[in-house]
């Protein structure tokens, strides 16, 4: 359970760090006197995300953890970009988001140990 908590936290930090890149390039942040602090904030979030992802790798197979981290991150960034930043989603993007979710779910399912037949 701790590994999944670390993975979900890594996703949240990665999404926040990535969105901060866009937010910091818009007003009123572009007029701030400390652009270096904005970069440090973004890098710190992304670095913390990788640290937590590495902790998740200890108990979750790499293929599953990375697929969930990447797919959930892309889905959240795309949705939040549309909701917060006013970016438009096209049908192809919606289809790609569906494919990301299906792909991560299939990878997760594929890493489960095979079930033994009854009586074997």
**pLDDT tens column, 47-69:** 999 999 999 999 998 888 988 89
Question: What residue ranges do the domains of the chain occupy?
Answer: 2-110
Helix (H) or strand (E) holding 31, with range, is none
Alpha carbon separation from 75 to 18, 45, 102, 118, 120 (Å, rounded): 12, 18, 12, 39, 42
Which residues in the chain come in under a pLDDT of 70? 27-34, 112-120
Per-residue pLDDT, 83: 92
Per-residue pLDDT, 100: 86
Per-residue pLDDT, 116: 54
Alpha-carbon gap, residue 8 to 56, rounded angstroms: 9
Give helix then strand counts, H and E, for the chain: 4, 0
Backbone angles phi, psi at 65, to 5 degrees: -60, -45
Alpha-carbon gap, residue 102 to 98, rounded angstroms: 6
Per-residue pLDDT, 33: 55
Is 56 within 8 Å of 108 (Cβ atoms)?
A: no
Per-residue pLDDT, 29: 63
Per-residue pLDDT, 117: 57
């Amino acid at each position: 359970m701790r590994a999944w908590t670390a993975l979900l936290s890594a996703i949240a930090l990665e999404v926040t760090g990535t969105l901060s890149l866009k937010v910091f390039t818009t007003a009123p942040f572009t007029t701030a006197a400390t652009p270096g602090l904005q970069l440090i904030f973004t890098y710190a979030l992304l670095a913390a995300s990788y640290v937590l992802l590495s902790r998740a790798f200890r108990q979750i197979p790499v293929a599953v953890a990375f697929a969930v981290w990447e797919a959930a991150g892309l889905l959240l960034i795309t949705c939040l970009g549309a909701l917060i930043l006013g970016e438009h989603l096209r049908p192809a993007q919606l289809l790609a988001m569906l494919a990301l979710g299906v792909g991560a779910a299939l990878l997760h399912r594929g890493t489960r140990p095979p079930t033994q037949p009854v009586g074997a």
